[in-house]
Amino acid sequence: MDALRQMGRAATRVRRGGHILTIADEELVPGDIVLLEAGDVVTADLRLVDCNHMQCDESMLTGESVPVDKEAISNTGAPQDLKTATAWKGTFVTRGSCVGLVIATGIKTELGQIAEVTDTAEGATSPLERRLQKLSEHLLLAVLALILILTISGVLAGRDIMLMVKTSIALAVAAIPEGLPIVATLALARGMSKLAARNALIERLSAVETLGSVTVIITDKTGTLTENKMTVTTLATPDRPDENNLEKPEAYGVRALRVCALCYSGDNADMLRDPMEKALVEAARTADMVPREMELAYPRIAEHAFDPAIRMMATVHRDGAGQYLYAIKGAPEAVLASVTCYNGAPIKPEIKQHWLDQMGNMARRGLRVLALADKLVPANSEAPFENLEFLGLVGLEDPPRADAAQAVRAAQAAGIRVVMATGDSMETGQSIAQAVGISAPDTMPVLTGEHVRQIAADGNAQPTAIFNTQVFARMSPGEKLTLIDFHQRNGAVVAMTGDGVNDAPALKKADVGIAMGERGTEVAKQAADMILKDDSFSSIVVAIQQGRIIFANIRKFVIYLLSCNLSEILVVAAAILLGMPLPLLPLQILFLNLVTDVFPALALGFSSGDAEILQRPPRPKSEGLIGARHWQAIVAYAGLMAACVIAAFVWALGQENTGVAYANTVAFLSLALGQLWHVFNMRSRKALLLDNQIIRNKLVWAAIGLCLGLIAIALSWSLIRDVLQLQQLDAKGWAVVAAASLGPLIFGQAAKELNTKFRRARG
């Protein structure tokens, strides 16, 4: 758990000793200089000493959903509201960037004061915990009613009152599965640990259960389905439109690479976190445009952060002649819409269309395409995205992950629909989607975020096209939110990936929000139910598989335990109704409950799962822990075990020169061993008879060995044998015990095989 906490801690960039470091939030101290940008969580109360178009979401403190504008603290002595010059711990940056001085940490922050007041608040229970609690309540009522009936029936039949009371109490203890909360907790904890080892960090326990019900995964492209190792491979400019302008760039190529060197988020080209910006800066370096030297020649005076609404960003620089250089990059459609100048002349519509066609050709090869532009003006008062001159298109290669196609196939085989929602162009999205198997060339055409908005705005529109589309391009965070809403209203259980600050609402709305651990913002991580440490789609499939395994293990444990407990009740009830002596004495029942039930059940909770679990359809979210067919199995197994034990007990009572104690011993051993062998009945219907998850589970064999040892001790140690009122058996007695204990296993396995063949025959 300490390791999980370590992975869940927020990281903060600070400037110490002239170096920029990334440290854990609890290492911050007053006086630290903190660097923040859009998507970062504020990890301490900060006084802002430098701001760049910064806004913060302070809704968690103030309840106001509108982001708050921030400004640096004034050095002029003019009156200023310090609230606008302060960023509070727990809020997050929605736009721009800043440099702040830490003025309070931990409990001394505004958030810390609130946390101190609410420290005693109780946490919410997960759906699985509520289901287990509901099951326990129903069992308690049923058992109390049944025990009362058995006690009254025994007394009316002339049984000793004290014996019936003791027996009823023992049966009540046996019937309630006390180990259920323990096994459920251990199974969940073990599952979370295994997921953490496979690069999936579960932030909320309820997500483990929900993962098994996921029917739709809405995934982004970059870094999740691709390697997130971008490389600039092509550069097409007005003077070199053949896309081969990297090695010896001409005039427009030099200007385009200058934009690559200057236009990035943050204040240090060596500390970039975005792989795309790293690739652009590296492309500039290959052309001998070192970012530090470029920044000395063109000092930055402002940054206009990337805006998902307009899909562009800009930086403003002062050049040596006293003019201002605007460097712009963004989506080709957006940049070309703002371009007015081309090759020194006004741009014509056919020229724009030519470059849009060129963008399509590059995107169809799987490249991520950006457009570059600039303008040189005498004043720094112009709108950044107007009157631009087009410099060219840059293509970045980000190949699909090696395991992405296999993971997509595994998800589809599990009955899960995989949908890509990317901010890239239609052609790029379709190319990668086909490469990893999300879509085929003959599938539904790609829809854009604009199409999603139009369908949502038209109240009479049928969203059939959305449900039949597997690739969505040019999607904004708001449009992803709409897409999730469509699927959820259609009855789907949605898992959604996200990394940006604007993805937080969609991550919260999804049934399972999945944040990226490597490139995700702190805001996205805090909004998510699960964090992928490696940003890989295959980790999502592993998490879904583990979620299904955990739920299946808990269900098997419950079925096993309840069928064993019910068999004990049925044995006693049958004896009372038939007017026979009690086959099981109170202490024998308690011994069975403590020994033969608990250890095999615990082992079931740690099963590695069925090999074909990902080939089954998702479990309905509304499905309970134990359904009607599971109750049928519980009653059938319990009845089978009880019938075999009663048959052995009747045989033992009819033997000469033996007494009731001999018959009790036969019944006790028949039921004890029968419950041990019954664990093998917990294999799934599709699993092989001699090669399945139960047989391969070493803990099951260890549990059986331990229980056999404890039973042997009870028979051989006179002290325990006398307490339990057991006797040594002869060869005939052991033969009957063997037959009676193996009977439920043999009949149970035969029934599974017949059921499987019947289902196959029906198709």
Residues 682 and 576 in one domain: yes
User: What single-letter DSSP state applies at residue 691?
Assistant: S
pLDDT attached to residue 4: 46
Structure tokens at 252: 């427009």
Q: 102 has which bridge partners? A: 46
For residue 138, being part of any structural domain is answered with no
Tokens 């059939």, residue? 464
Q: How far apart are CA 328 and CA 305, in angstroms?
A: 11
Question: Strand, helix or coil at 101?
Answer: strand
Q: How far is CA 638 from CA 560, 570, 635, in A?
A: 9, 8, 5
Of the candidates 195, 215, 200, the residue with the CA atom closest to the CA atom of residue 532: 200
Statement to judge: residues 515 and 593 lie in one domain: no
Q: Are residues 216 and 301 in the same domain?
A: no
- In this predicted structure, what is the pLDDT of residue 274? 78
Q: In the chain, what are the helix, strand and coil shares in percent, each to the nearest 5?
A: 50, 20, 30
Q: CA 606 to CA 228: how far, in whole Å?
A: 35
Question: Are 580 and 649 contacting, i.e. CB atoms less than 8 angstroms apart?
Answer: yes
Same domain assignment for residues 243 and 372: yes
Domain match, 221 and 291 both:
no
| CATH number assigned to the domain comprising residue 89 | 2.70.150.10
Q: Which of 73, 98, 117 is the last residue of a domain?
A: 117
Q: Provide the token pair at 366.
A: 């799987």
pTM: 0.73
124 occurs within a structural domain? no
Closest of 424, 428, 484, 474 to residue 447, by C-alpha: 474
Can you give the CATH number for the domain in which 558 is found? 1.20.1110.10
Statement to judge: residues 111 and 212 lie in one domain: no
**Residue 246 neighbours by CB under 8 Å, 6+ apart:** 232, 234, 235, 253, 283, 286, 287
- pLDDT score of 462: 66
How many domains would you assign to the chain?
4
Portion of the chain with pLDDT greater than 90, in percent: 27
Q: What is the CATH number of the domain that holds 526?
A: 3.40.50.1000
Residue 546 sits at the vertex; the CA angle it makes with 545 and 547, to the nearest 5 degrees, is 90
The answer to whether residue 724 sits within a structural domain is yes
Q: At what angle do helices 251-262 and 275-286 cross, to 10 degrees?
A: 140
**Domain range enclosing 29:** 2-117
Could you tell me where the beta strands, DSSP code E, fall in 490-558? Answer: 494-498, 512-516, 530-532
Residue with the two structure tokens 């590296």: 282
2 flagged as catalytic: no
Residue 127 lies in a domain: no
What length does the chain have?
A: 763
- 410 touches 211 (CB < 8 A): no
Which residue from 16, 21, 14 is spatially nearest to 36, judged by alpha carbons?
14
* Chain segment 300-349, per-residue pLDDT in tens: 988 888 877 788 999 999 987 788 999 999 999 999 999 999 988 999 99
Q: Which residue from 396, 388, 390 is spatially nearest to 239, judged by alpha carbons?
A: 390
- Give tens-digit pLDDT for 211-230: 888 999 998 887 788 887 88
Give bridge partners of residue 330 from the DSSP assignment. Answer: 312, 371
Check whether residue 303 and residue 389 sit in a common domain: yes
Q: Which helix (H) or strand (E) holds 13?
A: strand 11-16
Question: Tokens at residue 135, please?
Answer: 């099951």
Q: Which of 57, 220, 374, 499 is catalytic?
A: 220
Instruction: Decide if 189 is inside a domain.
Output: no
Q: List per-block mean pLDDT (blocks of 10 residues) for the chain, which spans 763 residues.
A: 53 87 89 88 91 80 72 76 87 85 89 60 56 77 82 83 80 72 77 82 76 88 82 91 78 93 84 84 89 89 82 90 91 94 92 94 89 90 87 91 89 90 86 86 77 81 81 85 89 85 80 83 78 85 85 86 87 83 86 81 82 81 80 92 94 87 93 93 78 86 93 91 90 94 91 77 65
Looking at the domain assignment, is residue 544 inside a domain? no
Single out the residue of 251, 352, 269 nearest to residue 315, CA to CA.
Answer: 269
Strands 68-69, 45-57: parallel, antiparallel or unpaired by DSSP? antiparallel
CB atoms within 10 A of CB 16: 11
Assign 48 to helix, strand or coil.
Answer: strand
User: By CB neighbour count within 10 A (0-12 exposed, 13-18 middle, 19+ buried), where does 76 fall?
Assistant: exposed
- The answer to whether 603 and 700 are in contact (CB under 8 A) is yes
DSSP state string for 238-304: TTBTTSB-SSS--HHHHHHHHHHHH--SSS-GGG---HHHHHHHHHHHHTT--HHHHHHHS-EEEEE
Give yes or no: residues 404 and 393 share one domain: no
Both 554 and 597 in one domain: the answer is yes
If asked whether residues 578 and 719 sit together in one domain, one would say yes
Q: Domain check: are 563 and 701 in the same one?
A: yes
Give the 3-state secondary structure of 336-361. Answer: HHHEEEECCEECCHHHHHHHHHHHHH
Alpha-carbon distance of 152 to 140, in angstroms, equals 18
135 located within any domain: no
372 vs 334: CA distance, rounded Å: 11
Both 410 and 472 in one domain: the answer is yes
Dihedral sign computed on CA atoms, order 678, 682, 685, 688: negative
What pLDDT is stored for residue 115 in this prediction? 59
Which of these three, 508, 535, 562, is where a domain ends? 535
Distance of CA 304 to the CA centre of its chain: 34
H or E segment and range at residue 201: strand 200-202
- Model pLDDT, residue 671: 94
Terminal Cα-to-Cα distance of the chain (whole angstroms) = 46
SS3 string of 214-250?
Answer: CCEEEECCCCCCECCCCEEEEEEECCECCCECCCCCC
Count the neighbouring beta carbons within 10 Å of the beta carbon of residue 724: 17
d(CA 108, CA 626): 48
Cβ atoms of 726 and 668 within 8 Å: the answer is yes
Is 646 contained in some domain? yes
| Domain stop point among 397, 418, 443 | 397
Q: What is the CATH number of the domain that holds 369?
A: 3.40.1110.10
